[in-house]
């Protein structure tokens, strides 16, 4: 894992952090690991397969494929043109478009429960529209990542929300209610900063003349017909349907609407060319664009599993337990440190969350810190950092999607993952909010004598100590 992260940083500095390049780094890292094991190499290799087969990686990949198909069908039908038209009519441009994108991405990800799926859909649809409307390319991309992080943290059906609640033995609705304040405190300054930096600067994006020409030739209100499948997916997800079920109905509805209205030719969705011996179309493109990312994620899952069974987690726990002593504040700082550290190496936030959950529960139970509080520390940190690091899955996924758009829009340019991390404002502010909450005790709650939620002051009274003594 150390080699992989070092390789990822090296490629990022060289502006070459592609999925295939990172796949090579992960393979080399896994190979180097063989020389460190005490067991037989065969056992080591077997555990690589066990790690790759983990549900967390497979679920993420399937979600990308379905979200990719959905986004490609909407794009093929002209949904981007409809977005450009309505943004132009409403006067939403530049920095305003950037913050609108953040809000919509946050709403979408909160409804459907997948931050990665949100990154795929919004970079495919909102990103090119935003460039036309004068948004800053890098900050616009960061606003999508920020919105995805917001929903990944707050959505009741998000895998990170469910994992954080289940591993800390608390209910999902209660967890969501308890974390809303942290999300909002991070989102408000994020909106302000996105507005400040979200407008295009000189030499970036389209010129005024280019934008006007594109709008004249492509802005089309008919594309707004695809708001129907877009809203349908959100509605079905909010009703508790599985993400794949919701996206499937969205794909079917969008395809039927497109063909019936004449806006999509059936061959644009799927075709077989016997002479050229190729299969193509929007449906296939929605899958093939993420094959390399799928391979990378499976390898990262394997490396994370090897790191866990190799004793890294035990070593981290031992060192952190030594500094906790009898302080609730130190205990939470230890939790936060471990979660953040794991997110550096395990770049899928759900996988990092699972790896840290045992330590968080063990320490939290020792200090009677309530499961809601533990789940919030666990989920907020992973949801934030999972959308920031240049080598993280979400950032690479979005960059790969934008790179795929360069062949479809002549004004879209590839973005280096090292350029975007400072501007993922919601992620940074969410980490800052949780750190301040740990230091000050804001939002810290405990498990009472009968399992009820009690404040820090009430808990100190029950145990006949002052709050300062307990901290």
Domain-located, residue 379: yes
Which strand (E) or helix (H) includes residue 272?
Answer: strand 271-273
Domain-located, residue 193: yes
Domain-located, residue 111: yes
Domain-located, residue 53: yes
Rounded CA separation 270/266 (Å): 7
Domain-located, residue 88: yes
Distances (CA, A) of 364 to 160, 329, 331, 373: 19, 11, 8, 9
Domain-located, residue 453: no
Structure tokens at 211: 């934008």
Domain-located, residue 454: no
Distances (CA, A) of 75 to 65, 70, 128, 408: 15, 9, 10, 11
The label of the residue with tokens 């934030």 reads: 384
Rounded CA separation 233/241 (Å): 9
Structure tokens at 74: 């909407």
Phi and psi based region of residue 264 (left: phi greater than 0; alpha: psi -120 to 50; beta: remaining):
beta
443 phi and psi, to 5 degrees? 80, 0
Domain-located, residue 167: yes
The DSSP secondary-structure symbol of 270 reads -
Structure tokens at 410: 């002549």
- Pinpoint the alpha helices (H) of 367-392: 371-385
> Which residues, including other chains, have CB under 8 Å from residue 273's CB and lie 6 or more apart?
279, 280
Q: Number of folded domains in the chain?
A: 1
Rounded CA separation 455/178 (Å): 13
Instruction: Provide the terminal-to-terminal Cα distance of the chain, rounded to the nearest Å.
Output: 35
Query: Which residues are registered as beta bridge partners of 271?
Result: 280
Instruction: Find the domain containing 306 and state its range.
Output: 2-440
Decide: residue 41, CB within 10 A, 0-12 exposed, 13-18 middle, 19+ buried: exposed
Digitized pLDDT (tens) for each residue of the chain, 471 residues in all: 889 888 887 887 777 767 788 889 999 999 999 999 999 999 999 999 999 988 777 877 887 788 888 888 888 888 878 887 888 788 888 899 999 999 989 988 887 777 888 898 889 888 988 888 889 999 999 999 999 999 989 988 777 888 888 888 888 888 888 999 999 999 999 999 999 999 875 445 566 666 667 766 777 888 889 889 888 988 887 777 877 888 899 999 999 999 999 999 999 999 898 888 888 888 898 888 778 878 888 898 898 889 888 888 788 777 877 777 778 888 999 999 889 988 888 777 777 888 788 888 888 888 889 999 999 999 999 999 989 988 888 898 899 889 888 888 888 888 888 889 999 999 999 999 999 999 999 989 888 776 677 777 776 666 655 445 445
């Amino acid at each position: 894992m150390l080699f992989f992260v070092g390789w990822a940083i090296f490629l990022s500095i060289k502006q070459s952090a592609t999925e295939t390049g990172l796949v090579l780094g992960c393979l080399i890292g896994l190979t180097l690991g063989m020389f460190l094991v005490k067991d037989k190499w065969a056992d080591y290799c077997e555990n690589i397969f066990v790690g790759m087969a983990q549900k967390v990686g497979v679920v993420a990949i399937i979600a990308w494929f379905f979200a990719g198909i959905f986004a490609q069908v909407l794009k093929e039908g002209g949904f981007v043109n409809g977005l450009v038209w309505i943004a132009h009519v409403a006067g939403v441009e530049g920095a305003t478009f950037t913050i609108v994108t953040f809000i919509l991405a946050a709403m979408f990800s909160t409804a459907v429960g997948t931050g990665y799926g949100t990154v795929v859909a919004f970079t495919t649809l909102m990103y090119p529209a935003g460039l036309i409307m004068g948004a800053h390319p890098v900050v616009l991309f960061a606003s999508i990542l920020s919105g995805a992080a917001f929903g990944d943290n707050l959505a009741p059906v998000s895998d990170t929300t469910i994992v954080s609640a289940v591993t800390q033995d608390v209910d999902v609705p209660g967890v969501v209610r308890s974390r809303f304040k942290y999300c909002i405190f991070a989102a408000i300054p994020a909106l302000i900063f996105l507005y400040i930096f979200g407008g295009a600067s000189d030499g970036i994006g389209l010129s005024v003349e280019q934008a006007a020409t594109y709008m004249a030739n492509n802005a089309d209100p008919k594309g707004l017909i695809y708001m129907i499948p877009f809203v349908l997916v959100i509605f079905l997800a909010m009703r508790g349907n599985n993400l794949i079920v919701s996206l499937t109905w969205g794909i079917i509805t969008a395809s039927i609407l497109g063909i019936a209205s004449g806006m999509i030719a059936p061959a644009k969705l799927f075709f077989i060319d016997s002479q050229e011996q190729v299969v193509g179309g929007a449906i296939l493109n929605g899958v093939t664009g993420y094959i390399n990312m799928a391979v990378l994620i499976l390898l990262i899952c394997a490396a994370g599993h090897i790191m866990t069974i190799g004793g890294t987690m035990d070593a981290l726990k031992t060192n952190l337990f030594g500094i906790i002593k009898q302080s609730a504040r130190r205990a939470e700082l230890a939790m936060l440190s471990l979660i953040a550290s794991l997110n550096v190496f395990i770049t899928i936030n759900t996988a990092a969350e699972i790896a840290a959950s045992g330590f968080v529960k063990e320490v939290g139970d020792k200090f009677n810190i309530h499961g809601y509080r533990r789940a919030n520390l666990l989920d907020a940190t992973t949801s934030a950092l999972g959308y920031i690091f240049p080598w993280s899955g979400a950032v690479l996924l979005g960059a790969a999607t934008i790179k795929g758009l360069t062949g479809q829009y002549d004004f879209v340019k590839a973005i280096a993952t090292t350029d975007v991390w400072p501007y993922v404002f919601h992620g940074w502010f969410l980490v800052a909010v949780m750190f301040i909450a740990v230091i000050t005790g804001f939002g810290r709650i405990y498990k009472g004598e009968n399992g009820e939620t009690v404040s820090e002051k009430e808990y100190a009274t029950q145990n006949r100590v002052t709050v300062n003594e307990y901290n």
